[in-house]
Amino acid sequence: MNGNLNILDLVLHASLPVKLVLIVLLAFSFFSWVIIVRKYTLLKDAISAADAFEERFWSGVDLAALYREVGVQDEAGRGVVNVFGSGFREFARQRQRTGRDSRTVLEASERAMRVAGTREVERLEQNLEFLANVGSISPYVGLFGTVWGIMVAFQGLANIKEATIAMVAPGISEALVATAMGLFAAIPAVWAYNRYANKVDRIATRYETFQEEFSSILQRQIQSDENS
**Block means of pLDDT (10 residues each) for the chain, length 228 residues?**
56 74 92 96 92 90 86 63 91 78 87 93 93 94 85 68 60 78 94 96 94 91 74
pTM over cut 0.85: no
Q: Considering Cα of 64, then 70, then 72, then 75, what sign does the dihedral take?
A: negative
Q: What is the pLDDT of residue 75?
A: 52
Q: What is the pLDDT of residue 149?
A: 78
Q: Describe the chain by its helix, strand, coil percentages, rounded to 5.
A: 85, 0, 15
Q: What is the pLDDT of residue 165?
A: 58
Q: How far apart are CA 150 and CA 145, in angstroms?
A: 9
Q: What is the pLDDT of residue 87?
A: 92
Q: What is the pLDDT of residue 1?
A: 42
Q: What is the pLDDT of residue 125?
A: 93
